[in-house]
Structure 1
Amino acid sequence: MQKPARARILDAAHALMLSVGLARATTKAIAKEAGCSEAALYKHFASKEELFVTVLKERLPRLTPLLQELSKDPTERTVEENLVRIAYEAALFYEQSFPIAASLYAETQLKSRHETAMREMGTGPHMPIIGLDAYLRAEQTAGRIRDDADTHAAASLLLGACAQRAFAYDAAGPYPPPPAERFARDLVRTLLTGIS
């Protein structure tokens, strides 16, 4: 039995965006790969940017839902356990999203159009920082991190390091990235020295 059109479109978009990058994954090519018309694609997604955001939300590690869940009830686990979960998911998210989005930086007009669309949809690369900052403020309120800790700076440091892991290492070469689990654990221990 064939998958529904929406699922086929997301599968095709994810595969093409990974293999040729966001800039070169056209809606026409995505529709062809999904076995549907371009008109059918636009019945499910208003724009290529909406399709990209949906791929990030539904086909990559689920960073945003984790942040939302933890900012509502942070106290089920320790701060360290929560931050390790966040850093692990973030490291995988950036590792998988970097090849998709990197092509945007080569085409300034496409990048500008993409950024405008992201703003109109109320999303963008700053949203995980906002989500992590909200979680850290909830921990601050619960008394589990210092009152004077700069939660926004801590969120920026943790997520920036996770993004840098995806960018700075050569996965196939002599300097592969550290395994995500070890990286997350070591990163969080270092960060907690400053905020706990």
Structure 2
Amino acid sequence: MRDRILAAAVTVIQARGIVAATTKEIARTAGVSEGSLYNHFANKTALFAAALAEVTGTARTAMVELLGSAGLHTVEENLTRLATEMVRFYGELLPMTGPVLADPELIEWLRGDGPGKAQNDVAARSRARTSGGRTGEPPAPGAPGGPPAGPPGGPTAGPVTGHAALIGYLEAERKAGRLLDGAPLPFIAAALLGGCQQHAFLTRLAGAEAVAAGARLPAAPAEFAARLVRAVLAGHLATP
């Protein structure tokens, strides 16, 4: 039931935004009574925070897969897969985040790595269900369902986690000799993620046709991702 409520919350918030979304509509979409929401979430803020965590889990999984691909395939292929997922992720996230930016409580939750902690809680409950109540060992840092790699909290926690993880991947590829020593890795990461967010932003506001005709960008996420990666990596790839 909790998963059903959470899926309904994501659907309603993406359609109406956090301000206009109501627990009554979420309950109706989930096919449960409004009161039953509070058997699983302490209040409306906790429910909305969990919905945000559900969506950000997509990006966290994509980053974990990227870190595991260092040295495999090509750098361009790896980053294209990531960028394709990130365009879709931002497309889901942007409708939910407008009011969040003006909510000090939710901002503090994000800065404290609320999505990551919520994902870890969900993973712990899942392990408990599948092991008959025995939680066993938690996932290692950086593993799917586990905490981000590196020390908890600090400057790379919260909203910066994805950017820091991407820099970590690029550092691994530079160490392997697949990126040039002088490549400005933090700025490559910023350009790649920023480009993905801009594509999602323009598509949301102007529509796919305007993105293709006015911004002169491919409307399809996969094609845009491939061409963005080639532009961002230009001059930074080591010669095979």
Q: TM-score range by the shorter chain?
A: 0.7 to 0.9
Say which of 137, 157, 171 aligns to 1:137.
171
Say which of 110, 114, 121 aligns to 1:118.
110
In 2 relative to 1, CA 42–28 (structure 1 residues): closer, same or farther, beyond 3 Å?
A: farther
> 2:165 aligns to what SS in structure 1?
helix
1:63-82 maps to which residues of 2 (within 5 A)? 63-82=59-78
Structure 2, unmatched stretches of 5+, are 115-152, 213-217
CA distance in 1, matches of 2:227, 2:48: 35
CA distance in 1, matches of 2:94, 2:178: 33
Q: Does 1:187 align with 2:223?
A: no
CA distance in 2, matches of 1:194, 1:8: 47
Partner of 2:84: 88
Partner of 2:38: 39
8 Å Cα contact 1:49/1:118 also seen in 2: no
Post-superposition offset of 1:44: 11
How many residues end up aligned between the 2 structures? 185
Post-superposition offset of 1:41: 3.0
Q: Which has the larger radius of gyration?
A: 2
Matched letter for residue 47 of structure 2? K
Between Structure 1 and Structure 2, which shows a larger proportion of helix residues? Answer: 1
Structure 1 residues 70-129: Cα deviation after superposition (integer angstroms, max 9, x where no partner): 224412210010010011111111112111212334xx2x2x211111123265432221
TM-score (normalised: structure 2):
0.68
CA distance in 1, matches of 2:60, 2:177: 24
CA distance in 2, matches of 1:45, 1:22: 10
CA distance in 2, matches of 1:11, 1:175: 29
8 Å Cα contact 2:55/2:92 also seen in 1: no
CA distance in 2, matches of 1:153, 1:118: 23
CA distance in 2, matches of 1:168, 1:135: 28
What RMSD, in angstroms, separates the aligned Cα atoms of the two structures?
2.5
Structure 1, unmatched stretches of 5+, are none
8 Å Cα contact 2:69/2:78 also seen in 1: no
Structure 1 residues 129-148: Cα deviation after superposition (integer angstroms, max 9, x where no partner): 11211111111111110112
Structure 1 residues 136-169: Cα deviation after superposition (integer angstroms, max 9, x where no partner): 1111111110112121111111000100111124
In 2 relative to 1, CA 141–175 (structure 1 residues): closer, same or farther, beyond 3 Å?
A: closer
**Identical aligned pairs, as a percentage?**
32
Partner of 2:207: 171
8 Å Cα contact 1:45/1:51 also seen in 2: no
Matched letter for residue 118 of structure 1? L
Q: Does 1:99 align with 2:95?
A: yes
